[in-house]
């Protein structure tokens, strides 16, 4: 009996350490589901709910805590929000304002994706679409952004699905088939073949994009207005769709 008791006490620290590790791992893997979960990483004695009245030094301390606990720890994120825009700022960024009463703007951004080519899926998004995004926290920072006191949040290794208002997956839009022959973009005598990029965009149901270097991945005549020329075929008859710089393009417009 004494031997059993001794073995129990010797083994207890091992089990406790294992339990602590398991608990820590569980806490680490718990997804951040709202901006409140991000703020919860800041100690309560810092009064994170009153961040609008913090000094620059307090914000710097809070940013260090957020970076260590959320960004460096690669905390998982699973958030639902409405899309505000998909804009090109050096790369395409999906972003949104998060509804909040904190006295400062709270925004979320995503530009690093789990899949290699997300451009067609981004082209199918509209302002106001409800999405659920999953990924890893890659930004959590109090800053002055766009001349407003802000909390900027970011999701990397991201993926998303569209949702209906009740939270169920949204059905995809009807696909408009386009039998693409070729697509070129440029002006004068300088045109670049963009058939592959245009095909990927037109094949995505509901995708709408614009004839510019960002969407087409080419700029054969920098500084000059260009045109996108798409040749497609319908029942053996070839047709041409043309639009100028920044013209709107979609499968429905091409076959119209």
**84 and 146 fall within a common domain:** yes
Report the pLDDT averaged over residues 13-39. 63
**64 and 147 fall within a common domain:** yes
Considering the chain, what percentage of its residues have pLDDT values greater than 90?
88
- The answer to the question of residue 110 being in a domain is yes
- Identify the residue whose tokens are 């990924």: 135
Report the pLDDT averaged over residues 58-64. 97
The answer to whether 124 touches 82, Cβ cutoff 8 Å, is no
- Enclosing H/E stretch for 201: helix 195-203
Strand partners, 187: 190
| CA dist., res. 254 & res. 245, Å (int) | 16
pLDDT, residue 178, reads: 98
Task: For the chain, give the number of residues.
Answer: 256
Please give the residue range of the domain that contains residue 203. 179-255
- The answer to the question of residue 213 being in a domain is yes
Collapsing DSSP to helix, strand or coil, 86 comes out as strand
- The answer to the question of residue 19 being in a domain is no
Q: What is the pLDDT of residues 103-154, one digit of tens each?
A: 999 999 999 999 999 999 999 999 999 999 999 999 999 999 999 999 999 9
**199 and 82 fall within a common domain:** no
**208 and 101 fall within a common domain:** no
Largest alpha-carbon pair distance within the chain? Answer: 94
- The answer to the question of residue 90 being in a domain is yes
**CATH number, domain with residue 129:** 2.40.50
User: pLDDT category, 28, cuts 50, 70, 90?
Assistant: low
Report the pLDDT averaged over residues 227-245. 97
**184 and 159 fall within a common domain:** no
pTM confidence score: 0.86
Q: Kindly list the distances between the CA atom of residue 10 and the CA atoms of 15, 18, 21, 70, 198, in Å, as whole numbers in the listed order.
A: 10, 14, 18, 35, 67
**157 and 122 fall within a common domain:** yes
Q: What is the pLDDT of residues 174-220, one digit of tens each?
A: 999 999 999 999 999 999 999 999 999 999 999 999 999 999 999 99
User: pLDDT category, 1, cuts 50, 70, 90?
Assistant: very low
Q: Which of 129, 163, 197 is the last residue of a domain?
A: 163
> The tokens of 22 are what?
């398991």
Q: Which of 135, 163, 191 is the last residue of a domain?
A: 163
Residue closest to 97 by CA, chosen among 110, 86, 82: 82
**101 and 213 fall within a common domain:** no
With helix as H, strand as E and coil as C, how does 12-68 read?
HHHHHHHHHHHHHHHHHHCCECCHHHHHCCCCHHHCHHHHHHCCHHHHHHHHHHHHH
> Does the pLDDT value for residue 11 go beyond 80?
no
Provide CB contacts within 8 A for 83, sequence distance 6+: 94, 96, 125, 126, 127, 128, 129, 130, 131
Strand partners, 145: 148
| Count of structural domains, the chain | 2
Question: Rg of the chain over CA atoms, in angstroms?
Answer: 25
């Amino acid at each position: 009996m004494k031997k059993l008791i001794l073995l129990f006490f010797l083994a207890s620290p091992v089990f406790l350490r294992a339990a602590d590790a398991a608990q820590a791992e569980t806490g680490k893997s718990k997804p951040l589901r709202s901006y409140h979960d991000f703020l919860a990483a800041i100690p309560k004695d810092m009064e994170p709910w009153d961040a609008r009245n913090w000094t620059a030094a307090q914000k710097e301390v809070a940013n260090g805590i957020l970076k260590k606990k959320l960004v460096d720890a690669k905390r998982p994120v699973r958030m639902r929000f409405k899309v505000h825009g998909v804009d090109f700022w050096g790369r395409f960024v999906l972003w949104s304002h998060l509804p909040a009463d904190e006295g400062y703007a709270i925004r979320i951004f995503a530009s690093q994706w789990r899949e290699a080519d997300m451009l067609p899926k981004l082209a199918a998004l509209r302002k106001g679409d409800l999405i659920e995004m999953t990924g890893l926290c890659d930004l959590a920072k109090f800053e002055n952004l766009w001349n407003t006191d802000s909390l900027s949040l970011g999701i990397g290794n991201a993926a998303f699905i569209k949702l209906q208002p009740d939270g169920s997956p949204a059905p995809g839009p009807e696909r408009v088939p386009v039998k693409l022959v070729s697509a070129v973009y440029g002006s004068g005598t300088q045109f670049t073949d963009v058939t592959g990029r245009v095909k990927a965009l037109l094949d995505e149901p509901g995708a709408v994009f614009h004839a510019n270097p960002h969407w087409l991945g080419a700029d054969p005549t920098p500084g000059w207005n260009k045109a996108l020329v798409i040749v497609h075929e319908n029942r053996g008859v070839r047709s041409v769709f043309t639009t100028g710089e920044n013209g709107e393009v979609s499968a429905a417009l091409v076959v119209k």
